[in-house]
A and B are shown apart, each in its own frame.
Chain A
Amino acid sequence: MGMYQPEIETMERSELEKLQLERLQKQVKYVYENVKVYRERMDKKGVKPEDIKTLKDIAKLPFTTKQDLRDYYPFELFAAPKKDIVRIHASSGTTGRQIVAGYTRNDLDMWADCMARQIAAAGGDENSVVQVSYGYGLFTGGLGAHGGAERIGAMTVPTSSGNTERQIRLMIELGATHLCCTPSYAMYLGETINEMGVKDQLSLKAGIFGAEPWTEDMRHQIEESLGIKAYDVYGLTEITGPGVSYECHVQGGMHVCEDMFLPEIIDPDTEEVLPPGSFGELVFTTLTKEGMPMMRYRTRDLCVLDYEKCECGRTLVRMKKPAGRTDDMLIIRGVNVFPSQIEEVLLKMGGDITPNYQIIVGRENNTDTLEVQVEMSESMLSDDIKSVAAIEKKIVSKLRSTLGLGAVVKLVEPKTITRSEGKAKRVIDNRKLHD
């Protein structure tokens, strides 16, 4: 598979570290001079830009959190003057209040490079037809993927999300080779394409999916239903958007664009930097951002960084798929539950279980309740009610052994769980524990 910027993607580590240090020093100085919040925090810690002499010195810098982005909303963390900001994006606000990010022309340029690296890694080039079915707008998915597709010179089809049948018609008629969207929408597209019986009319080769957590089993289902190879892309609005890290054909972790974003793994409780190979919270420091640089931004994503050189030839560190975002985690009767664990149980039940499910958490008589609704499919149905009830029981027992928690499983009629065209709403928490 191709590489968009091989000189960076396969750079020797010593050389890469030299580049990173140079950029880090420049970025810290820039931020210190232009963002009051950072300057005050650094002064309070007694650290000056000149104190950054090695990459390890990054540990001297204060952290930034999502709460900071809310507290200093909208512009206080911007480093560039407003006249240089050419675009605003906002996070989808799935967890709390909306935050914004500002980009200079140069920021958009670098971001397009990130996504172009991903598209090239998925076999895309100027001959490709890239259909972008991420939502366009404040969400970074649509315009982010769009920028990368245009950068690589592909024929870019900005369908945005929604109007699924038209999406599929365009996909067939324009001969899309690459699809960019959320994994849950890819599942829905696959379902609809198979219902319409038009899979053999597709020219799709690969899909680039991100913006929400998904499992390996879901990857297999998408690859199967669309007849493609599915690539995982990672990103967050706070840092830039999709393309912060990207997967190659080896599918063994996502290569971080380390020339632009410096990753660390920390212990989320002690905030201590952990040695390579440790599991912990991923932290990013931007190295080239002008609009809204981030110093040691705590992503809340839990993962491992793998510095081994990849079979694909890239030297850029690979981050393993995050095991969960600390704020996706549900605490139910004192037990930590990630929605991805529930999804895995359902998908591991075999082809019988549809991937359409919803988790409903409630509270009755001061005890948390967990209900998992699963849509019925023809392969699960029998004329014999006992065998249908047995499927319910089997899911209950698998959930109990995986989560260590009793759940109520409810089989529901097909298409009763709302399909999402963007991020799937998998969890409904009715407990109202916060404000």
Chain B
Amino acid sequence: MQFIKQLSVFVENKSGRLSDILTTVGNADIDISALSIADTTDFGIVRMIVNNPEQAASVLRENGFVVKVTDVIALAVADIPGGLAKEVEKLKNAGISIEYMYAFIGKSDKGALVIVRVEDPEKAIEVLKGESVTLVSPEEVYRL
């Protein structure tokens, strides 16, 4: 399985910058399916999953943003109490530590979706194959 391409965009903590990013992506007709922001007092990193990561990265760069593309994995989680806990536990048991994760707003037909950033995504996929974890393919994620 291929990894999901996540875009990370550097933003200064100035009003209007998030809106500039979203407008740039929107004007290029790119659909955002998940988004999370990490920030310090003076800057932030906007992480996004979009339907066309290459095109999104290039329009953002053309508009002067610094963009980094990172491999992440997507897990399907049963949308019931304890559903996410159960999946995270599986990762823990498999010895995979999570650097950060965030949830999708939409749902796939396999359940709720979470994006997980791990240190070594290749190894994680290998290990998780043996577990009863539902990994979601990039095609499916980008479609959302």
Q: Do A and B bind each other?
A: yes
Is B38 in contact with chain A by the CB < 8 A criterion?
yes
Partner of B66, one of A381, A384, A385, A389: A381
Q: Within the complex, which residue of A377, A382, A388, A415 is in contact with B43, where a contact is CB–CB below 8 Å?
A: A388
Tell yes or no: B64 within 8 A of A by CB.
yes
Given A411-B10, A412-B12, A413-B11, residue A378 in contact with residue B38 (CB < 8 A): no
CB distance from A159 to the nearest CB of B (A): 26
Instruction: Number of B interface residues at 8 Å Cβ cutoff, please give it.
Output: 23
For residue B39, which residues in chain A have a CB less than 8 angstroms away from its CB? 385
Q: Is A294 an interface residue (CB 8 A)?
A: no
A197–chain B nearest beta-carbon distance, Å: 14
Complexed CA–CA distance, A404 and B78 (Å): 56
Asked whether A269 is an interface residue with its Cβ less than 8 Å from the other chain, the reply is no
Any B CB within 8 A of the CB of A383: yes
Within 8 A of A (CB), among B1-18: 6, 8, 10-12, 17
Whether the Cβ atoms of A389 and B40 lie closer than 8 Å is: yes
**Residues of chain A contacted by B42 (CB below 8 angstroms):** 410-411
A384 with B99: CB separation less than 8 A: yes
Contact at A388–B10, with CB atoms within 8 Å?
yes
A376 contacts the other chain (CB 8 A): yes
Q: How many whole Å from A227's CB to the nearest CB in chain B? A: 24
Give A413's nearest chain B residue, CB to CB.
B12
Contacting residue for A413 out of B65, B100, B117, CB 8 A? B65
Residue among A376, A410, A415 making CB contact with B10, cutoff 8 Å: A376
Most buried by A among B11, B67, B68: B68
Asked whether A383 lies within 8 Å of B40 as measured between CB atoms, the reply is no
**A62 contacts the other chain (CB 8 A):** no
Is B58 close to A, CB under 8 A? no
Are A378 and B40 closer than 8 Å at their CB atoms? no
Residue contact A413 to B64, C-beta cutoff 8 Å:
yes
Task: Identify which of residues 339-363 in chain A touch chain B, using a CB-to-CB cut-off of 8 Å.
Answer: none
| CB–CB A383/B47 < 8 A | yes
| Total A-B residue contacts, Cβ distance less than 8 Å | 53
* Given A378-B67, A388-B45, A413-B66: A383 and B8 interface contact (C-beta under 8 Å): yes
Inter-subunit contact A383/B68 (CB<8 Å): yes
Q: Shortest distance in angstroms between A131's beta carbon and chain B's nearest beta carbon?
A: 28
Tell me if B's interface is mostly helix, strand, loop or mixed: strand
**Highest count of chain B CB atoms <10 Å: which of A376, A380, A412, A413:** A413
The yes or no answer to A414 lying at the interface (CB within 8 A) is yes
**A381 to B7 CA separation, bound complex (whole angstroms):** 11
How many residues of A sit at the interface, in one of the four size bands?
Answer: 10 to 19
Is A383 in contact with B64, judged by CB distance below 8 angstroms?
A: no
Asked if B70 is at the interface of the complex by the 8 Å CB criterion, the answer is: yes
List the A residue with the shortest CB-CB distance to B11: A413
Chain B nearest CB from A167 CB (Å) reads 21
In the complex the two chains form, what is the Cα distance from A380 to B100 in whole Å?
Answer: 19
In the complex, chain B residues 34-63 whose Cβ is within 8 Å of any chain A Cβ: 38-40, 42-45, 47
Is there contact, CB below 8 Å, between B64 and A414?
Answer: yes
CB-CB < 8 A to B44: which residues of A? 385
Q: How far is the CB of A95 from chain B (nearest CB, A)?
A: 31
Q: Is the CB of B64 within 8 A of A385?
A: no
Chain A 366-382, CB-CB to B under 8 Å as 1, else 0, gives 00000000001110111
- Residue-by-residue, is A14-48 near B (CB-CB < 8 Å gives 1, otherwise 0)? 00000000000000000000000000000000000
Residues 157-191 of A, flagged 1 when their CB comes within 8 A of B and 0 if not, give 00000000000000000000000000000000000
Q: Quick one: which of B6, B66, B99 contacts A378, CB cutoff 8 A? A: B66
- Report the separation of the CA atoms of residues A376 and B45 in the bound assembly, to the nearest whole angstrom: 12
Question: How many Å from the CB of A396 to the closest CB on chain B?
Answer: 13
Choose among B12, B38, B64, B68 the residue that contacts A415 (Cβ–Cβ < 8 A): B64
Do A381 and B64 touch across chains, with their CB atoms under 8 A apart? no
Chain B 49-108 interface residues, beta-carbon cutoff 8 Å to A: 64-68, 70, 99-100
Contacts of B11 in A (CB 8 A): 413
CA distance A388 to B10 in the complex (A): 10
Question: In the complex, what's the smallest C-beta–C-beta distance from B95 to chain A, in angstroms?
Answer: 20
**Complex formed: what's the CA distance from A384 to B44 in Å?**
10
CB closest chain-A residue, reference B38: A385
User: Smallest CB–CB gap between A226 and chain B, Å?
Assistant: 23
Contact yes or no, A413 B70, CB < 8 A: no
Given A383-B70, A413-B11, 19 additional A-B pairs, CB 8 A: A376-B66, A381-B66, A381-B67, A383-B6, A383-B117, A384-B100, A385-B38, A385-B39, A385-B40, A385-B45, A389-B40, A410-B42, A411-B42, A413-B10, A413-B12, A413-B17, A413-B64, A413-B65, A413-B66
- A residues contacting B by CB (< 8 A) are 376-378, 380-385, 388-389, 410-416
Cβ contacts A to B, 22 pairs, < 8 Å: A376-B66, A378-B68, A381-B66, A381-B68, A382-B8, A382-B68, A383-B68, A384-B99, A385-B38, A385-B40, A389-B40, A411-B10, A411-B12, A411-B42, A411-B43, A413-B10, A413-B12, A413-B64, A413-B66, A414-B64, A415-B64, A416-B12
Smallest CB-CB A-B distances: 8 pairs:
A383-B8, A385-B38, A383-B70, A381-B68, A376-B66, A376-B10, A381-B66, A385-B45
